[in-house]
């Protein structure tokens, strides 16, 4: 199971990096989405995959009885999913707005904030 | 438990909620000012309490460390919270004069408070995953502030800022995941001991470099800085100022914290790497600034260059180096925010930040010209201003470590900084305005003039005070550096405090 998840993480990362190398911002964003999911796997694997009971504590006890699953990575992954969902939604809206305003999502054509320096007289 | 640690997070949150509800009401902006004043007040109380009692910590939700989330303040955290409040207050007051009602109605002041909450949270947290969450709070509000208004330049710069910062975030998160996998804890004080028991030190160094890259993007280190000069000159000036003052410094703070408390087992590799990154950062930043022809873009590149000095102090990893880094951090936030404010006033009366379209500021607005010289000279490191002591400490630390080349580069970069500052002076202040207009401060209505000039004057005064009476500040930074290099107090306080 660990091996399967590790390989999946690797494939996700590879696909994500391929997409992020694109000039198209939308492809870049899909790459980011995949990459953030790959990271969720990393955290999940970091907590070790243990087949066990749900980490619930019986009434009157102070610790769970027997072997239970590690709840912390799941909590971390849940937080990370929520946060990355919000960020990706924002980034998608931003790219859409940029497309409507500037008219392009090709990163090499976006030179408005940093225009190429004006040619001096001697160059012309 | 100490409530003082919670106030820097709760006060901006409450203020944000109130100002958002009242965003259509003129009272909203005044609540924002009042809230930031309260933040300043409580953060000074926090600092006083840290000076009196040493490191203080509080366990959230009744969970003992290292299982719950700990808030903790040592000298460095406390002074960073105070300086955040000072910069926040200066920015909010400046906004009263700059921000149009259109932005106010879409919740500008509320976002500004959320940003302050994120920054303060990052400074007081003692948990690595919690640090990630505060980074996200800070990031999402900065995204909003950066593109609010939606001009073409802003969207263009915003896209680069957002996309590259998201990569750094993902890098940070995967570092956290792997570190948890090899140590089983995320409490920073607990990690200090836990990393010493890890047998696979190669993996640990890999994780350390992941953190270096993640925080290096936030702090705008070479070669990861290019998002900063692409975006910082596009939003309203007040936003540029608070970003320039605080955001990259959170990255620097995180680097200092993580590379003194957790990753100090392979100093020969990580800190040497950092040293050369710092040197390249200084040089690239100042050369970039020399090539620019816009007030704010020159300043943006100077942020990058100055970050190099701070990281240099950390990379030297000597008591004097860290002392210099802490001192530099405080000095730089004040000076940089102030320079951006001045650029804003110059834009307001001169009509542009493009140096070729500015002029006549010395003849017509001598007060502004005088106030520009203080932070500009301080940035370049002239005595007796704060920048002189900051640079002196760093260069002295480099010389003590017998890093002659590094010290030489640091001094040469200082000289080139003077060049950029004289370039601004020689284009915007000295000659007549190209269109023949006379940019006077009295062109701005009285209230707005007061709101814009008050922060500039106050921060300039602070720069002079630090410069003329450096003794208490240096002593303070010395204690802060001592706590960083020997975190025994930090660890025993965090792990020993009962909820």
pLDDT for the residue numbered A8: 93
A65 or A92, which is more confident:
A92
Give the residue extent of every domain in chain A: 2-51+68-105
Report how far residue B161's alpha carbon sits from residue B171's, in angstroms, rounded to the nearest whole number.
16
Is residue A123 predicted with pLDDT exceeding 60? no
pLDDT for the residue numbered B23: 87
pLDDT tens-digit map of B9-34: 999 999 999 999 988 888 888 999 99
Of the partner residues B147, B176, B293, the one whose CB lies closest to the CB of residue A94: B147
3-state secondary structure of A68: strand
CB contact burial B94-119 (16+ within 10 A = b; e otherwise) = bbbbbbeeebbeebbbbbbbbbbbbb
Is residue A116 predicted with pLDDT exceeding 80? no
B250 to chain A, minimum CA–CA distance in Å? 19
Residues in chain B within 8 Å Cβ distance of A57: none
Would you say B354 and B293 are in contact if contact means Cβ atoms under 8 Å apart? yes
Tell whether domain A2-51+68-105 is in CATH 3.40.50.
Answer: no
Of the partner residues A47, A83, A94, the one whose CB lies closest to the CB of residue B162: A94
- Restricting to B residues 120-139, those with a Cβ less than 8 Å away from any Cβ of A are 129, 133, 136, 139
- Restricting to B residues 44-83, those with a Cβ less than 8 Å away from any Cβ of A are none
Tokens 């260069």 correspond to: B395
Cβ contact A90–B140 (<8 Å): yes
List, in sequence order, every residue forming a beta bridge with B70; answer none if it has no partner: B59
Tokens of B200: 């696979």
Of the partner residues A45, A48, A98, the one whose CB lies closest to the CB of residue B159: A98
Give the residue extent of every domain in chain B: 266-468
Cβ contact B163–A46 (<8 Å): no
Torsion angle of the four alpha carbons B110, B113, B114, B117, in this order, in degrees rounded to the nearest 10: -160
Cβ contact B162–A113 (<8 Å): no
Report how far residue B375's alpha carbon sits from residue B362's, in angstroms, rounded to the nearest whole number.
16
Q: Which of B379, B376, B382, B383 is nearest to B362 (CA)?
A: B376
B96 to chain A, minimum CA–CA distance in Å? 26
CB contact burial B220-258 (16+ within 10 A = b; e otherwise) = bbbebbbbbbbbbbbbbbbbbbbbbbbbbbbbbbbbbbb
Cβ contact B157–A113 (<8 Å): yes
Best probe of the B interface among A81, A95, A99, A113, by most B CBs < 10 A, is A113
Find all residues with CB under 8 Å of B178, minimum gap 6, and list them. A42, A46, B203, B206, B207, B210
Residues in chain A within 8 Å Cβ distance of B181: 42, 45-48
Residues in chain A within 8 Å Cβ distance of B293: 117
Cβ contact A102–B156 (<8 Å): yes
Cβ contact A113–B169 (<8 Å): no
Residues in chain B within 8 Å Cβ distance of A42: 174, 177-178, 181
Would you say B385 and B418 are in contact if contact means Cβ atoms under 8 Å apart? no
Interface of A with B (CB under 8 A): 20, 25, 28-29, 32, 35-36, 38-39, 42-43, 45-48, 72-73, 76, 79-80, 83, 86-87, 90-91, 94-95, 97-98, 101-102, 107, 110-114, 117
Report how far residue B454's alpha carbon sits from residue B463's, in angstroms, rounded to the nearest whole number.
14
Cβ contact A76–B136 (<8 Å): no
Of the partner residues B156, B162, B174, the one whose CB lies closest to the CB of residue A42: B174
Would you give per-residue pLDDT tens digits along chain B (499 residues)? 578 889 999 999 999 999 999 888 888 889 999 999 999 999 999 999 999 988 888 888 777 777 888 899 999 999 999 999 999 999 999 998 888 888 888 888 999 999 999 999 999 998 999 999 999 999 999 999 998 888 888 888 888 899 889 999 999 999 999 999 898 888 898 898 888 888 888 889 999 999 999 999 999 998 888 889 888 888 888 999 999 989 999 999 999 999 998 888 777 888 889 999 999 999 999 999 988 888 888 999 999 999 999 999 999 888 999 999 999 999 999 999 999 999 998 888 888 888 888 888 888 888 888 899 999 999 888 888 888 999 999 999 999 988 899 999 999 998 999 988 888 888 888 888 888 777 788 888 888 888 888 999 999 999 999 989 989 999 999 999 998 888 888 888 888 765 5
pLDDT for the residue numbered A118: 62
Cβ contact B155–A114 (<8 Å): no
pLDDT for the residue numbered B200: 84
Is residue A12 predicted with pLDDT exceeding 70? yes
Cβ contact A102–B169 (<8 Å): no
Cβ contact A86–B140 (<8 Å): yes
Would you say B389 and B427 are in contact if contact means Cβ atoms under 8 Å apart? no
Find all residues with CB under 8 Å of B166, minimum gap 6, and list them. A32, A87, A91
CB pairs under 8 A between A and B: 103
pLDDT for the residue numbered B241: 92
List, in sequence order, every residue forming a beta bridge with B58; answer none if it has no partner: B71
3-state secondary structure of B492: helix
Residues in chain B within 8 Å Cβ distance of A45: 177, 181
Report how far residue B145's alpha carbon sits from residue B158's, in angstroms, rounded to the nearest whole number.
10
Question: How many helices and strands, by DSSP H and E, does chain A display?
Answer: 3, 0
Would you say B9 and B124 are in contact if contact means Cβ atoms under 8 Å apart? yes
3-state secondary structure of B419: helix
Residue A124: how many other CB atoms lie within 10 Å: 5
Peptide bond into B86 cis (omega under 30): no
Provide the 8-state DSSP code for B106.
T
The mean of the pLDDT values for chain B is 89
pLDDT for the residue numbered A65: 75
Give the per-residue SS3 of B225-267.
CCHHHHHCCCCCHHHHHHHHHHHHHHHHHHHHHHHHHCCCCCH
Taking the model in full, what pTM does it have? 0.93
pLDDT for the residue numbered A119: 53
Report how far residue A85's alpha carbon sits from residue B385's, in angstroms, rounded to the nearest whole number.
46
Residues in chain A within 8 Å Cβ distance of B150: 97, 101
Would you say B108 and B145 are in contact if contact means Cβ atoms under 8 Å apart? yes
Cβ contact A102–B163 (<8 Å): no
The mean of the pLDDT values for chain A is 85
Of the partner residues B129, B155, B182, the one whose CB lies closest to the CB of residue A76: B129
pLDDT for the residue numbered B360: 81
């Amino acid at each position: 199971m660990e091996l399967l998840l590790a390989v999946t993480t690797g494939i996700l990362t590879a696909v994500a990096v391929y997409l992020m190398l694109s000039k198209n911002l939308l492809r870049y964003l899909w790459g980011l989405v995949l990459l953030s999911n790959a990271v969720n796997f990393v955290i999940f694997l970091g907590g070790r995959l243990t087949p066990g009971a749900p980490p619930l504590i019986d009434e009157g006890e102070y610790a769970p009885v027997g072997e239970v699953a590690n709840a912390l990575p799941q909590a971390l992954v849940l937080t990370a999913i929520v946060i990355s969902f919000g960020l990706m939604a924002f980034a998608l809206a931003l790219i859409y707005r940029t497309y409507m305003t500037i008219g392009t999502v090709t990163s090499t054509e976006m030179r408005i904030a940093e225009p190429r320096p004006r040619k001096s007289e001697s160059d012309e | 438990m100490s409530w003082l640690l919670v106030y820097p997070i709760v006060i901006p949150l409450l203020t944000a909620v109130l100002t958002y509800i009242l965003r259509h009401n003129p009272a909203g902006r005044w609540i924002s000012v009042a809230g930031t004043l309260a933040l300043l007040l409580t953060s000074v109380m926090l600092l006083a309490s840290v000076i009196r009692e040493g490191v203080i910590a509080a366990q959230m939700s009744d969970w003992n460390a290292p299982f719950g989330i700990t808030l903790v303040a040592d000298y460095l955290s406390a002074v960073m919270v105070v300086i955040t409040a000072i910069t926040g207050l200066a920015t909010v007051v400046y906004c009263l004069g700059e921000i149009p009602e259109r932005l106010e109605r879409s919740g500008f002041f509320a976002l500004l408070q959320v940003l302050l909450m994120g920054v303060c949270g990052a400074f007081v947290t003692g948990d690595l995953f919690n640090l990630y969450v505060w980074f996200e709070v800070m990031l999402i509000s900065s995204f909003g502030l950066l593109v609010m208004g939606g001009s073409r330049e802003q969207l263009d710069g915003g896209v680069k800022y957002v996309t590259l910062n998201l990569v750094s975030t993902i890098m940070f998160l995967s570092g956290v995941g792997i570190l948890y996998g090899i140590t089983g804890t995320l409490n920073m004080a607990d990690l200090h001991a836990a990393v010493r028991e890890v047998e696979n030190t190669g993996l640990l160094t890999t994780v350390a470099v992941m953190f270096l890259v993640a925080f290096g993007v936030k702090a705008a280190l070479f070669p990861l800085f290019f998002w900063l000069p692409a975006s910082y000159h596009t939003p309203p000036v007040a936003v540029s100022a608070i970003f320039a003052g605080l955001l990259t410094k959170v990255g620097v703070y995180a680097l200092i914290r993580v590379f003194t408390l957790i990753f100090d087992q392979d100093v020969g590799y990580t800190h040497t790497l950092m040293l050369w990154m710092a040197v390249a950062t200084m040089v690239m930043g100042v050369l970039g600034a020399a090539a620019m022809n816009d007030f704010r873009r020159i300043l943006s590149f100077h942020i990058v260059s100055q970050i190099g000095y701070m990281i240099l102090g950390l990379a030297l990893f000597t008591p004097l180096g860290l002392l210099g880094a802490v001192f530099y951090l405080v000095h730089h936030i004040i000076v940089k925010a102030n320079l951006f404010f001045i650029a804003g006033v110059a834009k307001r009366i001169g009509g542009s930040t493009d140096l070729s379209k500015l002029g006549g500021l010395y003849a017509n607005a001598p007060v502004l010209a005088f106030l520009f010289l203080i932070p500009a000279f301080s940035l370049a490191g002239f005595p007796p201003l704060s920048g002189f002591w900051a640079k002196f400490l760093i260069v002295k630390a480099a010389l003590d470590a017998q890093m002659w080349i590094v010290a030489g580069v640091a001094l040469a970069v200082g000289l080139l900084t003077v060049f950029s500052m004289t370039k601004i002076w020689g284009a915007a202040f000295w000659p007549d305005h190209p269109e023949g207009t006379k940019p006077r401060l009295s062109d701005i209505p009285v209230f707005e003039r007061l709101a814009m000039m008050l922060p500039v004057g106050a921060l300039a005064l602070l720069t002079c005070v630090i410069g003329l009476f450096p003794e208490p500040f240096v002593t303070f930074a010395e204690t802060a550096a001592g706590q960083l290099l020997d975190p025994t107090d930090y660890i025993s306080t965090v792990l020993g405090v009962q909820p």
